[in-house]
Amino acid sequence: MKNKKLTKAEEEVMQLFWAHGPNTVSQLIKLMDEPKPAQTTVSSFVRILEKKGFVDHKSFGRTFEYYPIITQSEYSKFSLKSFVGNYFNGSMNQLVSFIAKEENLSLSEISQLIESSKSEKK
């Protein structure tokens, strides 16, 4: 992955992999909303994702089954760090302060969120 962002369309394909696991291009298209993109379009996105190091494949004759090699959690962490770097000078404190102000959160509400997060990790 190494600092590789996904385009919106690539991220939509990755969301399908993360939600449904390994799939062929044809199976991915069946999972997509109408209007469904062309097979060549989805195939191109999957090949790009493979070049970027997000998916890999297994061959079954002439059919390829692709599977994610980057978890949604790993990409979420990368995206958040990138977002914080771009908009909050790399400071998580500035991000939390911004959210607290925008959402009008009290200190006790923030503390509850932190405690809830700690208990989820256990």
Q: Rounded CA gap, 120 and 3, in Å?
A: 28
Q: Report the predicted TM-score, pTM, of the whole model to 2 decimal places.
A: 0.80
Predicted pLDDT at 1? 59
Which domains, from first to last, does the chain contain? 8-68 (1.10.10.10), 89-122 (no CATH)
**Helix (H) or strand (E) run with residue 67 in it:** strand 63-68
pLDDT of residue 117: 83
Q: Is 12 exposed, middle or buried (0-12, 13-18, 19+ CB in 10 A)?
A: middle
Count other C-beta atoms under 10 Å from residue 13's C-beta.
26
Convert the pLDDT of each residue in 85-120 to its tens digit.
999 999 999 998 898 899 898 888 888 888 888 887
Count of CB atoms situated within 10 Å of the CB of 45: 22
pLDDT classification of 122: cutoffs 50, 70, 90: low
